Amino acid sequence: MSHTVLITDPLDPIAYAMLEEQGVTVDNLLDYDEATLIEHVRNADGWIVRSGTTVTDDLLDHADDLTVIGRAGVGVDNIDLPAATRKGVLVCNAPDGNTISTAEHACAMMQAMARTIPQANRSLLDGEWNRKQFAGAELHDKTLGIVGIGKVGRAVAERMQGYGMDLVAYDPLVSEEVANRYNVSLVSLEELLTESDFITIHTPLNDETRGMIGADELQACKDSVRIVNCARGGIVDEPALLDAIQAEEVAGAAVDVYTEEPPESDHLHELISHPNVVATPHIAATTGAAQEKVARQITEQVLKALANEAVSTPVNGMAIRMAAQPEVQPYLMLADRLGQIAHQLTDDRIRNLTVRCQGEVPKRFAEVLSVAALRGMLNQWADEPVNFINAPVIAEDMGLSFTETRQSGGDRYTSLIEVVADTDDGTYTVAGTILNGDDLRIVRINDYNLEVHPDGELLLYHNVDRPGMLARVGGILADADVNIGALALGREARGEMALTAISVDDPVPEAVQRSIANVKGVTGVRIVRIG
């Protein structure tokens, strides 16, 4: 049977050749309005996109014949995965095609920034001969801080060793054993900021990493530091970076990604045009070789899916199979969110993750629930989308051990999923249950029993159990116009330390967190984001 594949973003010609060779009709739609796109989606069996197309729930509602969506690249944040899964549409990606291209671009940006090559070139073209002005800096014997050592970060590490750089890295998931293979020393983010002469970013953009290099972090750096961001716009706070460069608290920056693409805000134009900044228009992954690799890989996956063959890079493959069994959906969501919380309970590197299923959790789902918890944890930091298929592989690649156990009972809840994260500093536990079929609850954090919905933003802190403590914290939140949605408190005994969990409707600013931490009797203030 003949198939039609819709392509709505530019692809390397190899993709068209491969599809046509298999007798597939190619619907090439690169210029369209929404109504036109809807008409073409109706007739598509497969759909290949890059980052320029947003695949929404509404579009999928019109795609009755659609079997597979192929994302020519790594990130799938432009695809509504839950909607595709509900629709039974397989989503696959091409995670390996542009790793080398992105790493090489980051290295090139670092060198161009260090030696002020673009600035010197412009000066020469203007008829000037300012050799002293463009003396630049050497990379040899300098310390390079790598934030995130997934595939791209490791490729950068391998290349920059050849320049004689000392390599340090911050990555809360990668083990020391894995880092040592790349001659990288694992350090805390604070150590990386204070020790590094150059810093390069290679993390995903999510709630945990958004703005992670902000004004406070830049203040902690050396005034001579130079920063490279070829990962995602928004990981480095752009206004804060501009302020730091203008104040000569950061020597320079090399930027390929932006919160707005193309950049439109005044502060972005100021950043891009600053004489100490090297800027490119999100081209790290756009070499000819990378685009051919990505196009070839994603076309192979789409053809296999249309032929009802197994694909090697499914993003939601297991989820589609589980979607046919609605009784497992609440358990999958609970396990995923427990994994998210476990990761955020500690700043230390997690060495081992244990998932325990107890009581009436269906036995046939135990394995996939364990993988769901692992996926929830890894998705907080991994530099590629994590799914049911690749989560165990990514964990192994990071040196993270993973165990699962099952217990018949022993708890007051009829069903319980418990996630335990082991670190060098201690063990962190979060447990949850499901009430009335679909009501998800956290019921224990470490040694404290409490009940709270695992959704949105939670403010967690320990406090001395005495009158007035909640009123003080509540007053600080009220003064900051942060609304409390719900709260729960767990304690070991009256008058001893308690754990308070407050569900808030609005983000809690860092200044407010510091005010709460300054309340006498309050310790361990932490924000946990779930979703």
Show which residues are catalytic.
Answer: 232, 261, 282
Q: Please tell me the chain's helix, strand, coil percentages from 3-state DSSP, rounded to the nearest 5.
A: 35, 25, 40
Comparing CA positions, the residue from 29, 26, 56, 67 lying closest to residue 301 is 67
Packing angle between helix 288-306 and helix 99-114, nearest 10 degrees?
A: 160
Q: Are 304 and 310 in contact (CB under 8 A)?
A: yes
Q: Are 259 and 272 in contact (CB under 8 A)?
A: no
Q: Are 390 and 439 in contact (CB under 8 A)?
A: no
Phi, psi at residue 456, to the nearest 5°?
75, -140
CA distance 218 to 244: 7
CA distance 526 to 531: 17
| Neighbouring-strand partners of residue 92 | 70, 314
| Neighbouring-strand partners of residue 415 | 359
Amino acid at 124: L
Please give the torsion angle defined by the CA atoms of residues 245, 248, 251 and 257, in that order, rounded to the nearest 10 degrees: -10
Residues 6 or more apart whose Cβ sits within 8 Å of residue 184: 146, 149, 157, 167, 168, 169
CA distance 48 to 295: 9
CA distance 414 to 261: 50
Phi, psi at residue 50, to the nearest 5°?
-115, -150
Phi, psi at residue 27, to the nearest 5°?
-105, 95
Structure tokens that stand for 253 in this block: 């920056």
Structure tokens that stand for 307 in this block: 């032929």
Beta strands at 522-530 and 401-407: parallel, antiparallel or unpaired: unpaired
Amino acid at 16: Y
Comparing CA positions, the residue from 49, 41, 96 lying closest to residue 77 is 49
Q: Are 208 and 340 in contact (CB under 8 A)?
A: no
Q: What is the DSSP string of 363-429?
A: GGGHHHHHHHHHHHHHTTT-SS---TTTHHHHHHHHT-EEEEEEES--SSSSEEEEEEEEETTEEEE
